[in-house]
Amino acid sequence: MNTLSLAFRNIFRNARRSIMTMMAVGVGALAILMFGGFVSAIVLSFQTFIVQNTGHLHVYKRGYFDFGAGNPSAYGIADYAKVMQAIADDPVLKPMVAVATPSLTLFGIAGNFAANTSKTFFGTGLVPSDRERMRRWNAYGLQGLTWRESAMHDDDRDGGVIGLGLARMLSLCATLNVANCPTPPAAETSDKPVDQDIAALAAAEAPQDNGADPRPRIDLLAATAGGAPNVVNLRVARAENQGIKELDDAYVAMHLDLAQRLVFGRGERKVTALILQLHRSGDLKAAQARLETIFRDRGLDLEVRDFSQLTPMYPQVIGMFGTIFGFIAVIMGVIVLFTIANTMSMSVMERINEIGTLRALGQRRSGVRRQFLAEGFLLGLFGATLGVVAAILAAQAMNHSGLSWTPPGNSAPVPLTILLFQSRLLVPAAWICLTVLATLSTLFPANKAARMVVVDALRHV
Amino acid sequence: MTDSVRNEGPVVRLDQVVKEYHMGTIVVPAVAGVSLTLQAARFSVIVGPSGSGKTTLLNLIGCIDGATRGTVEVCGTDIATLNDDRLSDFRARHIGFIFQNFNLIPVLSAIENVEYPLLLAGIAKRERRARAMALLDAVGLADQARRRPNEMSGGQRQRVAIARALVAEPDLVLADEPTANLDSRTGAAIIELMHAMQARARTSFVFSTHDPAVMEHADSIFAIRDGLLVESREIGGRA
Ligand SMILES: Nc1ncnc2c1ncn2[C@@H]1O[C@H](COP(=O)(O)OP(=O)(O)OP(=O)(O)O)[C@@H](O)[C@H]1O
Ligand SMILES: [Mg+2]
């Protein structure tokens, strides 16, 4: 018989009311946890998607990030092989880095001269096997991620992938087996002959063993570092949805070698970025600091940017969901506060005579206060525990329900999951906060009970 | 100190005590200037018609209410000098209460109700149990120890309340019309029991009643009317 066991008995005096109160707290906990777990899953699947596609850190020549996007040759990293070697050899970076790969971003015009169509493109030259490894990153162990076998290979130096929109505009839908692809109205098809010089240039580039490769060929035109126009042929292996229309309408991924041939011709070959993917996102700051140290020590004029700078939507998404989460948590907190305060006030009013008796027997004001606080605490504790258990069950059910959603910028749906324990803080924090809140909500009724005038309380019937 | 107070000198001394209630602008003098002395180890009765101020007087003696004027001294302590916490501790140590409506704690069993004052006194569980059981036995309820109040009759409840009032060995037990909610035969048995327990514990008992039959047990009788002491009678030479 101590304060807690007495409190336990008292809350079950009016079992129905107490159970309703605990359920209200439980529903509050459930809502907070389910939404928190959902936000956890959203943030992590979004982060996973970003890290798979763009890595954690990008190394640029200083100024490229702010000014260089339009001028890959001026802001290129010339001796990138040496930089990569330095990264690979560094004892600090070595255990952190999963993939380090060069990348060349470029712009130009893509033409399908067979169909007399052309379109500006935004291209990336990459190392296919490195990108393939990057796409398998799943540090958070997310379930149900799907990989499509890459259409590009290291030894296929002319191969590449284009966006669905670009395929449509270049009239490649049929050849690339693109579904749901409208045919353009007749008037829009250009019948103007393509510039003769470019056509000639393209013809000169065209490989001779044409018939062996069934993949459609497009021509990519760009200005070289020296300013002269240059053309290369790209064998389009596949059209892939890029998620964002502007990107989808212009996207070309090609072998790094092909991109370098296009931009640098026979000149010195550079890249615009070195992309680093780490094993764990938690190492990001340490890796960035180490890279900066290495570059400073070696006098390299390079800068490092992290993925949230490259994808500003990422911090925005986190901020947005954080705000919604805070909003929901506050609403649930207010509901819990009023429910507990109401229940405990009723309990105090029903027990006025008992309070008078306890005080007459020699119970101090603080003892009365402690007794009621203990009851609020237990209501909160049981309710929050109920909510945690319910949330775990509901999350299990949800995670096995097969529901899916498509994150912003993603081209494929991902499973809808509730990650309750991904953030180690979520469940304990919700559990403790609601219990503490329930206890604090009892302060007002408990103080009212403690301050009662003994004789008035005893006279009360 | 407890023992010295118990056997010699007055346990309660009231000097010109006034208790006024304010009902709007009207002042109701529930106790209108009472001076009295209760000797230790006595069985005292306060009698008077309804509204005469019995309850108010007992509340003042029981240190759960403060006098408007005058001095209330219990066990040699002027209770006006104690703050609320000290007063609570003082009640726990020196005073036991028996109420008209029994006022047992409904979530506690009979034995736990009896233990409660010992819990307030900070006594260890094993000793609490033993002392509570001894008192339940003394009031004839050893076999009802596990019952909750709502499973017991009025007479049984009042016996539990008597055990609770005595368990911490107070100097003074106050009972405000303890038989008013009992039939006359049970009431008589309760008075009998209180008298026996008082004799055994050598504690001072004070109770209020309308019932003239109760008075035959009393060592001293105080009659009040309209908040004033109208008669004070010593019966036996027990002190
Ligand atoms: N809290 C209060 N506020 C105002 N007046 C009060 C209060 N308590 C008691 N009184 C008044 O004080 C007077 C004495 O009341 P008290 O309860 O002490 O009488 P009593 O002798 O115990 O009566 P009863 O035999 O009916 O219990 C009565 O006139 C009552 O109306
Ligand atoms: Mg009365």
**HEC-encoded secondary structure of A97-146:** EEEEEEEEEEEEEEEECCCCEEEEEEEEEECHHHHHHHCCCCCCCCCCCC
Q: Which of A206-220, A259-273, A370-384 has the lowest mean pLDDT?
A: A206-220
The verdict on a CB contact (< 8 Å) between B103 and A6 is: no
Which residues contact residue B99 at a Cβ distance below 8 angstroms, ignoring those fewer than 6 apart?
A357, A458, B161, B175, B176, B178
User: Which residues in B lie closer than 8 A to residue A1 (C-beta atoms)?
Assistant: 108, 112, 115-116, 119
CB B12 within 8 Å of CB B57: no
Predicted ipTM?
A: 0.93
> Residue B150's pLDDT band (boundaries 50, 70, 90)?
very high
Helix (H) or strand (E) holding B28: strand B26-39
Please check the confidence at residue B201 and state whether its pLDDT lies above 70: yes
How do strand B10-23 and strand B69-74 relate by DSSP bridges?
A: antiparallel
- For chain B, how many helices (H) and strands (E)? 7, 10
CB A111 within 8 Å of CB A166: no
In tens, the pLDDT along A267-285 reads 889 999 999 999 999 999 9
What integer pLDDT is reported at residue A319 of this predicted model? 93
How do strand A57-61 and strand A273-278 relate by DSSP bridges?
A: antiparallel
Say how far apart CA A157 and CA A261 lie, in whole Å: 10
Mean pLDDT of chain A: 89
In testing the pocket of ligand 1, which one of B17, B23, B50, B55 has its CB within 8 Å of the most ligand atoms?
Answer: B55
What integer pLDDT is reported at residue B57 of this predicted model? 96
B28 to chain A, any CB pair closer than 8 A? The answer is no
In tens, the pLDDT along A180-233 reads 788 777 655 455 555 566 666 666 665 555 556 788 899 999 988 777 889 999
What integer pLDDT is reported at residue A415 of this predicted model? 79
Query: Considering every ligand atom, which ligand is closest to the CA of B30?
Result: 1
The verdict on a CB contact (< 8 Å) between A6 and B93 is: no
Q: Domain residues of chain A, as ranges? A: 2-46+315-458, 63-300
From the CA of B31, give the closest atom in ligand 1.
Answer: 14
Say how far apart CA A32 and CA A26 lie, in whole Å: 10
Q: Which residues of A216-250 are buried (b: 16+ CB within 10 A; e: fewer)?
A: bbbbbbbbbbeeeebbbebbbbbbbbbbeeebbbb
This prediction has a pTM of 0.83
Distances in whole angstroms, Cα of residue A259 to Cα of each of A23, A101, A105, A157, B163: 62, 15, 8, 10, 98
CB A6 within 8 Å of CB B107: yes
Question: Considering only alpha carbons, which residue of chain A is nearest residue B65?
Answer: A455
The verdict on a CB contact (< 8 Å) between B117 and A362 is: yes
What integer pLDDT is reported at residue B3 of this predicted model? 45
CA distance A1 to chain B (A): 8
User: Which residues in B lie closer than 8 A to residue A358 (C-beta atoms)?
Assistant: 105
> Residue A297's pLDDT band (boundaries 50, 70, 90)?
very high
What integer pLDDT is reported at residue A174 of this predicted model? 84
- Ligand 1: which residue has its CA nearest to atom 31? B51
Phi, psi of A225 (to 5 degrees): -55, -35
CA of B90 to the centre of ligand 1 (A): 25
**Pick from A9, A362, A455: CB nearest B92:** A362
Say how far apart CA B4 and CA B111 lie, in whole Å: 30
The verdict on a CB contact (< 8 Å) between A6 and B107 is: yes
Please check the confidence at residue B239 and state whether its pLDDT lies above 50: no
The verdict on a CB contact (< 8 Å) between B91 and A360 is: yes
What's the one-letter identity of residue A102?
P
Mean pLDDT of chain B: 91
B49 lines ligand 1 (CB under 6 A): no
Q: Which of A326-335, A370-379, A409-418, B180-189 has the lowest mean pLDDT?
A: A409-418
Gyration radius (Cα) of chain A, Å: 32
> Residue B5's pLDDT band (boundaries 50, 70, 90)?
very low
The verdict on a CB contact (< 8 Å) between B120 and A10 is: no
- Ligand 1: which residue has its CA nearest to atom 24? B50
Which residue is associated with the tokens 């749906």? Answer: A413
In testing the pocket of ligand 1, which one of B17, B23, B54 has its CB within 8 Å of the most ligand atoms?
Answer: B54
Question: Considering only alpha carbons, which residue of chain B is nearest residue A11?
Answer: B107
What integer pLDDT is reported at residue B238 of this predicted model? 45
Distances in whole angstroms, Cα of residue B161 to Cα of each of A74, A122, B175, B178, B199: 97, 91, 10, 10, 17
CB A82 within 8 Å of CB A339: no
B22 to chain A, any CB pair closer than 8 A? The answer is no
Structure tokens at A448: 């009212």
Say how far apart CA A219 and CA A161 lie, in whole Å: 13
- Ligand 1: which residue has its CA nearest to atom 10? B30
Structure tokens at A303: 């800068």
Please check the confidence at residue B196 and state whether its pLDDT lies above 80: yes
B65 to chain A, any CB pair closer than 8 A? The answer is yes
Mean pLDDT of B181-201: 90
Helix (H) or strand (E) holding B116: helix B110-120
The verdict on a CB contact (< 8 Å) between A454 and B65 is: yes
Structure tokens at A160: 């590449």
From the CA of B224, give the closest atom in ligand 1.
Answer: 21
Structure tokens at A81: 């092989």
Please check the confidence at residue A417 and state whether its pLDDT lies above 50: yes
**Pick from B88, B99, B107: CB nearest A359:** B88
CB A111 within 8 Å of CB A118: yes
B27 lines ligand 1 (CB under 6 A): no
B51 lines ligand 1 (CB under 6 A): yes
Say how far apart CA A230 and CA B85 lie, in whole Å: 94
DSSP helix/strand/coil, A223: strand
What integer pLDDT is reported at residue A198 of this predicted model? 63
DSSP A150: P
CB A167 within 8 Å of CB A176: yes
B56 lines ligand 1 (CB under 6 A): yes
Phi, psi of A243 (to 5 degrees): 85, -45
**Pick from B64, B103, B164: CB nearest A455:** B64
The residue among A129, A263, A112 whose CA lies nearest residue A198 is A112
Could you say which of 3.40.50.300, 3.20.20.70, 3.40.190.10, 3.40.1260.10 is the CATH number of the domain covering B41-53+82-234? 3.40.50.300
Phi, psi of B141 (to 5 degrees): -125, 25
Mean pLDDT of A235-251: 89
B99 to chain A, any CB pair closer than 8 A? The answer is yes
Say how far apart CA A347 and CA B212 lie, in whole Å: 40
What integer pLDDT is reported at residue A387 of this predicted model? 97
Say how far apart CA A47 and CA A53 lie, in whole Å: 10
Task: Name B39's bridge partners.
Answer: B10
The residue among A310, A247, A429 whose CA lies nearest residue A47 is A310
Distances in whole angstroms, Cα of residue B203 to Cα of each of A150, B5, B218, B232: 96, 10, 14, 20
Task: Among B105, B146, B173, pick the best mutation site for testing chain A contact (most A Cβ within 10 A).
Answer: B105
Say how far apart CA B186 and CA B199 lie, in whole Å: 20
Which residue is associated with the tokens 């109401």? Answer: A342
Say how far apart CA B157 and CA B150 lie, in whole Å: 9
Q: Is A332 exposed, middle or buried (0-12, 13-18, 19+ CB in 10 A)?
A: buried
B52 lines ligand 1 (CB under 6 A): yes
User: Which residues in B lie closer than 8 A to residue A353 (C-beta atoms)?
Assistant: 101, 103
B116 to chain A, any CB pair closer than 8 A? The answer is yes
Evaluate the CA torsion angle B5, B86, B89, B18 in order and state its sign.
positive
DSSP A449: H
B3 lines ligand 1 (CB under 6 A): no
CB B175 within 8 Å of CB B169: no
CA of A66 to the centre of ligand 1 (A): 87
User: Which residues in B lie closer than 8 A to residue A455 (C-beta atoms)?
Assistant: 59, 64-65
Q: In what order do the strands lie in the sheet with B204-209?
A: B95-98, B172-176, B204-209, B43-47, B220-225, B228-234
